[in-house]
Every structure is written in structure tokens, then in C-alpha cells.
Amino acid sequence: MSDGHEPEGSQPHVREDPITLSEVASIAKTRIRKEVWDYYECGADTQTALHENEAAFKALKILPRVMRDVSNVNTSTSFFGRKCAVPFGLAPSAMQKLAGGDGEMDVARAAAKLGVNLTLSSQSTTSLEDVISCKKDSSSSLDPAFWMQLYLTKDPEKSIPLIKRAEASGYEALVLTVDTPVLGNRLNERKTPLVLPAGLHLANIELATRSPQTERKPTFNRRLMDARTLHDAEAILSAAGGSTHSNSLTWTTTIPFLKKAAPGMKIILKGIMTPEDAVLAVKHGVDAIVVSNHGGRQLDETCATIEALPGIHAVLATGSSEPGRKNRIPVIFDGGVRTGADVFKALALGADFVLVGRPVLWGLGYKGEEGVEVVINILERELSRTMALAGVARIEEIGKEYIGVKNAGGFGISKL
């Protein structure tokens, strides 16, 4: 099936029964429209951070132990007191109906069926109420947590109706994205602006504002990204009327605002990349943090998230004997996870939990709900196999003693 990615007849053969995430991606690329694929896959500027998110994992080597009883490997864990079938969840991604299938509904059905944590993007093409209904309607005995991602605008009060809806619907946490005062310089988006086609809309935002989208054009945030002059930027901000992402979030005002708006929900900050901000998150009563560089789509010259993780864990590490508890507040890892071994490495370097982003979209493009299930099952099997071969039977046993890093000269391994 050709979609304009390559000339007809020139596409390489890809198997229709994928057994790796890279094979899922290869199929998805032939089925997702080129402008949509480019939107999801691109990073910022030269895409250095995007590529290093994956490449940095390769510098890490697993140091396997032998003569261990791994006859009963268990990939389950607990998070916020709730049992999780696997130590990874599905990261928030916008406008999932563009990727394929029934979008967010397919992702939610797969997550509910397999007991996997899900974070819904506030910029979804399905309402948050419809998404969480998939969990309520599921026949599975598993009961995964669903979380709600949030961007605050310049006027945070405008987000209160959305927050209240999420709380009332049963979402257990607000995941505030904090690394987006402005959009990163995403060249693909600037050259080919992505707009929702007729029939699709930002369900949560439009329901909250009661103003259905009538014009098919980029959002003010994306128009601001493409401003060519200071005058252009000022004109766009003036026209936006406070609807762009907030660039004035602070520790002393934003966290109390969220706690007051949603007293029954956990508060998670997504986009923490330094030990200093991790310590501030603890100080200001945040419930968890997500170590993330936004999939390489924001600040291109930052480091890979797996490189940031050890330093953050070092300042949050706890001596608690509580099973599975590694940090004073839970540290969630996000960025570049493409195999079960990557999940293992992130857990070993101090993460309590891991999020998976683009591969979920590949699953949607491949085969909708079934494709998302394929992605989850591939990662689960790869993680289980990695644990067995590394000599680990339970998630809480995974620690940095199992990880080495290639020496600077390129030969030899040193423990971290």
C-alpha cells in the first residue's frame, strides 16, 4: 500500500506479522499519511535529542548474572498502590485518530484489556469521558490507572473545567507538561503545518470552550513556532488572547493551583531533566515526576533522557526497604524506549516506572487496537526475556549493578 512515502513498487518488504517494534514501525509507515508520520516522528531543529534518546541506550550494557532461579519471572509492579501488569505505561500523544484505527479509543481498549497504565493527551481527538469508558466497559479483571495530561494556558483558570471533568470521570492523576513554554523548533511542522481534517476535532478542548473548530488551520501555538520576526510573534500572541501555552508557570503558584483545582488527584510533572528541579518537585509536594525531553521535540541541545536519569535518581534515592520503592517520590522515565531491554535499563538506572510514546502510534497505524496490543505484548515478552537472561526474577530486583557503560576509548565496560 503506497501513501507517497516512496515511489510505487520501491518499498522494501516488511513482514505482516511483526515481532519487533521496528517491524511494527515499518508497516505503520506505509499506512500513515506522510504528513502525519512526519508530524509524529520529527524532533526539533537538527533532531539531535530525538536520535540521542535512542542511541544513548546503546552505550549501556547489561551485566548478566547466572545461576539464578528465573523459573518464574514476574514483570508486574505497583505504582501509587495499584498493581500494574507491567512496569511501563502508554505516554500521552496528541490527536491519535490521525495515526489510525479508532485512535484514543483503540489505545484505551488495549490498555484496559492488558492492564496497562494510560495517560490521555488533553489534545486528544476523543473526549476524556469516552476514553475512560473503555476501562469501565472492559470485561478484563485488570484495573489499570488512567491519568490525564494537561497543558496550562496563560490564563490557568480556563483549564479548571477540563480538570474537573477528568477528576469526576475517574482519572487518578494530572500529568502537567512543564517543558513547553513555547513549542520547540520543529522544522517538519513549519514546512508542512498539520491541521485536523474535516470530521476530527480536539474533543476535550472544544467541549470545554463550547467553540467547535470551524477553520482548519494550525493552532496559535504552532503559528507562534513559525513566526519569522519579533513583530510576527507579537501579533500572533495578541490574536491568541491568552490561549497559548503558559510561559509563566512557577513552583510557588502552579502546584498550589493544581492541588486546589483537583484535590482528589495526584500531581505529576512531565518534563523534568535536572536534579535541581527534581528536588524542587519534592519540596513543593509533587506526587511524581516524569524525566522527559518531550521525545526530542522541544530543546534539541538537551541530553538524552536516559543520561539525565542517574543524576536525578541520585538526589531522590531513598534507603527505604519498601519493595520496589527507589525514590522519595516516584520517578517515571520517558524517551527513546524501543525494546524491553530499554525498559530494563531505565529501571536499573533508577526509574520506578517507564512510559512508551511513539511505538503506541505505530501500533495504531499497523492495526488499531490489535496493533497497540501487539506493541505491549512485544515489550512485555522482551522485558521478561531480558530479565531471565540477566538473572532477575522480579522488577524490584533490577538495579544499577546490572548495568555497565562502554569506556570512553570504545573498548571495555565500566560499572556505573
pLDDT tens digits for 37-58? Answer: 999 999 999 999 999 999 999 9
Phi, psi (degrees; rounded to nearest 5) at 267 = -115, 120
213-222, 328-337, 393-402: the lowest-pLDDT one: 213-222
Average pLDDT over residues 9-25: 77
Q: Rounded CA gap, 46 and 23, in Å?
A: 25
Quote the cell numbers at residue 16: 505482516
Residue 71 marked in a binding site: no
Average pLDDT over residues 225-235: 85
Q: Which residue has the cell 493527551?
A: 121
Residue 96 marked in a binding site: no
Average pLDDT over residues 395-411: 91
Residue 358 marked in a binding site: yes
Residue 64 marked in a binding site: no
The percentage of the chain sitting over the pLDDT mark of 70, rounded to a whole number, equals 92
Q: What is the pLDDT of residue 325?
A: 67
Residue 366 marked in a binding site: no
Residue 336 marked in a binding site: yes
**Which residues have a Cβ under 8 Å from the Cβ of 320 and sit 6 or more positions away?**
none
Q: Rounded CA gap, 112 and 110, in Å?
A: 6
Q: What is the pLDDT of residue 207?
A: 55
Average pLDDT over residues 353-377: 97
Delimit the domains of the chain by residue range: 21-182+248-415
Q: What is the pLDDT of residue 326?
A: 87
124/2: higher pLDDT? 124
Residue 270 marked in a binding site: yes
From the list 379, 341, 387, 384, the residue with the least C-alpha distance to 357 is: 379
Q: What is the pLDDT of residue 73?
A: 98
Query: How do residues 252-279 score in pLDDT, each as one tens digit?
Result: 999 999 999 999 999 999 999 999 999 9
Q: What is the pLDDT of residue 236?
A: 78
Query: How do residues 208-228 score in pLDDT, each as one tens digit?
Result: 444 454 456 778 888 878 888
| Catalytic machinery residues | 294
User: Is 31 within 8 Å of 55 (Cβ atoms)?
Assistant: no
Query: What would the 3-class secondary structure string for the chain be?
Result: CCCCCCCCCCCCCCCCCCCCHHHHHHHHHHHCCHHHHHHHHCCCCCCHHHHHHHHHHHCEEECCCCCCCCCCCECCEEECCEEECCCEEECCCCCHHHCCCCCHHHHHHHHHHHCCCEEECCCCCCCHHHHHHHHHHCCCCCCCCEEEEECCECCHHHHHHHHHHHHHHCCCEEEEECCCCCCCCCHHHHHCCCCCCCCCCCHHHHHHHCCCCCCCCCCHHHHHHCCCCHHHHHHHHHHHCCCCECCCCCHHHHHHHHHHHCCCCEEEEEEECCHHHHHHHHHCCCCEEEECCHHHCCCCCCCCHHHHHHHHHHHHECCCCCCCCCECCCEEEECCCCCHHHHHHHHHCCCCEEEECHHHHHHHHHHHHHHHHHHHHHHHHHHHHHHHHHCCCEHHHCCHHHEEEECCCCCCEEEC
Average pLDDT over residues 153-168: 92
**CATH class of residue range 21-182+248-415:** alpha beta
Q: Rounded CA gap, 177 and 180, in Å?
A: 7
Average pLDDT over residues 340-369: 97
Residue 313 has pLDDT above 50, yes or no: yes
**Band of pLDDT at residue 142, cut at 50, 70 and 90:** confident
Residue 416 has pLDDT above 60, yes or no: yes
Average pLDDT over residues 46-71: 95
Q: What is the pLDDT of residue 141?
A: 83
Average pLDDT over residues 361-386: 98
**Band of pLDDT at residue 10, cut at 50, 70 and 90:** very low
Residue 151 marked in a binding site: yes
* Average pLDDT of every residue of the chain: 90
Q: What is the pLDDT of residue 149?
A: 97
Dihedral sign for Cα 30, 91, 58, 393, please.
negative
**Band of pLDDT at residue 2, cut at 50, 70 and 90:** very low
Q: Rounded CA gap, 88 and 375, in Å?
A: 12
